[in-house]
């Protein structure tokens, strides 16, 4: 019985590791010409609620603009990209 339990735990652990390794992400950078401190906070919260977004970082600039970096799941990029555009951000092409 102990051997069966250990085998089950090992199988579950291997499955979780494989699933975690398969979660690939893509990073996109956006800019917004005018963004107040309140806007930056609200935009970040909105981005984190978008499907597929795993990380959102917004850096306010001295000129009042902001840089948004989002990390999205490779298999679910569109909702995060659409959310950034809806909030007034323009994608930076590198």
Which residues constitute the domain of residue 73?
25-91
**Residue ranges in the chain modelled with pLDDT below 70:** 1-22, 94
Q: What pTM was computed for the model?
A: 0.74
Is the residue at 16 inside a domain? Answer: no
pLDDT at residue 16 in the model: 44
- Please give the tally of structural domains in the chain: 1
pLDDT at residue 5 in the model: 40
pLDDT at residue 23 in the model: 74
Closest C-alpha to 63, from 32, 41, 24: 32
Residue 49 is part of a domain; what is its CATH number? 3.30.70.60
Is the residue at 86 inside a domain? Answer: yes
Task: Look at residue 30 and give its three-state secondary structure.
Answer: strand
Is the residue at 65 inside a domain? Answer: yes
Task: Look at residue 63 and give its three-state secondary structure.
Answer: coil
pLDDT at residue 17 in the model: 44
pLDDT at residue 10 in the model: 43
Phi, psi of 25 (to 5 degrees): -125, 160
């Amino acid at each position: 019985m102990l051997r069966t339990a250990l085998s089950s735990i090992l199988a579950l652990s291997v499955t979780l590791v494989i699933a975690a390794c398969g979660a690939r992400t893509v990073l996109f950078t956006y800019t917004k010409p005018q963004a107040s401190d309140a806007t930056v906070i609200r935009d970040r919260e909105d981005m984190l609620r978008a499907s597929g977004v795993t990380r959102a970082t917004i850096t306010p600039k001295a000129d009042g603009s902001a840089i948004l970096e989002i990390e999205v799941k490779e298999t679910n990029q569109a909702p995060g990209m659409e959310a950034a555009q809806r909030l007034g951000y323009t994608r930076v092409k590198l």
